[in-house]
């Protein structure tokens, strides 16, 4: 049997593919070649729906029965931005002093390459049949709308009878050093647009108009003046940040007819999407009834939420967490902290099917110009994944 590729070799091959969301075909070609050669059954279903682009995904599996460990991730990357600003071309996978530069090097082709290399070594080293089932769930739509990616891939797999015992997502979950933390949950995410309707008029005759900016200012103050909570054991305080305020008015002498603000809340396990929305609407209604800056006329407001809501979740599977923590300690010597920090990931979909944790390289350069990762870190991460496999399937 030929020697399996190293994590560094796989990472270079993947970074050289400009797999901007949702174009993952060429990256899937790289993965299919090595996984099929190792005995994995590889399938690449395409999902689509109204108002969204078709997305190709990859599911690869070997073995049978329980336990069934699935390794998850994505091959799609965000745009590189101005390529002239990069030290090296963003899809050249240039290595300088042991560091590989390129879009996706950290988020998350590095973790994916490390996982695949670890699996190839582990499967190839088995003298007997694998004691369980091992699979990959990989999408090309994590950095995009996430409509035709992991969520539908999980549904497709479940309809075919796949039952997952546990999952590991290879996102760049380490903070400062490889293995210094494992992510065991994520905050929820709720986004909405708050609109206030007024009456357009001449700025020299405000008595003939109704400026919606006054009302919007009052409502935003009500949303942010008091904390939503002070945090919980595993999560920090719930945040609510205004990310945009707009009236679409280029004129200096016109009072606008409508004002809008967009906001995003990252919420902890004291809330669900439904209860948080209820509290936000309660605060808005109370502030609108109070009058305040807009006492002359009622505040005519509306709230339109974005459809991509992520619920908060926390993984409490001590066995899975313990296996990962012990493997990290074996390879790196570090005892990882258990974290729920950061944004969202496809773990938000996987948690509905099985316990899920996240472990991967240090993510300090993700989405940046000159995104890069030390190859020694990728190889060390691959050894951690291999140690996880050894411990998990030996239970």
330 assigned to active site: no
Query: Which residues does 16 contact at the CB level (< 8 Å), separation at least 6?
Result: 91, 92, 93, 102
| Residue 332 token pair | 């790196």
Q: What is the DSSP letter of 2?
A: P
Say which of 56, 76, 171, 371 is annotated catalytic: 76
346 close to 169: Cβ distance less than 8 angstroms: yes
Asked if 286 and 222 count as a contact pair (C-beta separation under 8 A), the reply is: yes
Assess contact for 104 and 77: CB atoms under 8 A. yes
Catalytic annotation present for 142:
yes
Residue 90's nearest CA partner among 198, 177, 172, 15 is 15
Beta strands in 287-353 (DSSP E): 300-305, 313-314, 337-339
C-alpha to C-alpha distance for 62 and 41, rounded to whole angstroms: 6
Nearest to 173 by CA among 118, 122, 114, 119: 114
Catalytic-role residue among 56, 107, 141, 142: 142
Residue 345 near residue 363 (C-beta atoms within 8 A): no
Task: List b or e across 353-366, with b for residues whose CB sees 16 or more CB atoms inside 10 angstroms.
Answer: bbbbbbbbbbbebb
Residues catalogued as catalytic: 76, 142
């Amino acid at each position: 049997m030929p020697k399996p590729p190293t994590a560094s070799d796989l990472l270079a091959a993947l970074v050289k593919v400009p797999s901007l969301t949702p174009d993952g075909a060429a990256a899937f070609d790289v993965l299919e070649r090595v996984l099929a050669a190792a005995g994995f059954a590889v399938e690449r279903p395409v999902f689509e729906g109204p108002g969204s682009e078709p997305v190709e995904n990859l599911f690869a599996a070997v073995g049978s029965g329980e336990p069934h460990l699935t390794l998850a991730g994505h091959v799609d990357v965000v745009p590189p931005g101005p390529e002239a600003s990069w030290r090296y071309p963003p899809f050249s996978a240039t290595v300088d002093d042991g560091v590989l530069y390129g879009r996706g090097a950290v988020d998350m082709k590095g973790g994916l390459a490390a996982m695949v290399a670890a699996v190839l070594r582990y499967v190839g080293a088995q003298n007997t049949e694998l004691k369980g089932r091992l699979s990959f769930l990989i999408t090309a739509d994590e950095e995009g709308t996430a409509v035709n990616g992991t969520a539908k891939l999980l549904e497709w797999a479940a309809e075919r009878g796949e039952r997952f015992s546990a999952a590991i997502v290879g996102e760049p979950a380490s903070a400062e050093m490889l293995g210094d933390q494992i992510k065991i949950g994520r905050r929820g995410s709720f986004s909405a647009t708050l609109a206030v309707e007024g009456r357009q008029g001449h700025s020299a005759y405000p008595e003939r108009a109704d400026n919606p900016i006054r009302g919007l200012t009052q409502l935003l103050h009500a949303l942010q003046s008091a904390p939503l909570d002070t945090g919980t054991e595993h999560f920090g305080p719930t945040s609510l940040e205004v990310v945009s305020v707009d009236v679409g008015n280029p004129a200096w002498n016109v009072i606008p007819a409508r004002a809008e603000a967009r906001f995003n809340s990252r919420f902890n396990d004291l809330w669900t999407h439904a209860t948080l929305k209820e509290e936000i609407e309660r605060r808005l209604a109370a502030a609108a009834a109070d009058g305040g800056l807009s006492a002359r006329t009622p505040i005519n407001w509306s709230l339109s939420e974005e459809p991509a809501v992520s619920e908060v979740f926390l993984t409490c599977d001590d066995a899975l967490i313990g296996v990962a923590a012990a493997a990290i300690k074996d390879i790196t010597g570090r005892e990882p902290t258990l974290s729920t920090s950061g944004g969202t990931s496809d773990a938000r979909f996987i948690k509905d099917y099985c316990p899920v944790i996240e472990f991967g390289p240090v993510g300090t350069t993700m989405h940046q110009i000159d995104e890069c990762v030390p190859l020694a870190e990728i190889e060390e991460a691959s050894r951690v994944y291999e140690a996880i496999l050894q411990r998990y399937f030996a239970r």
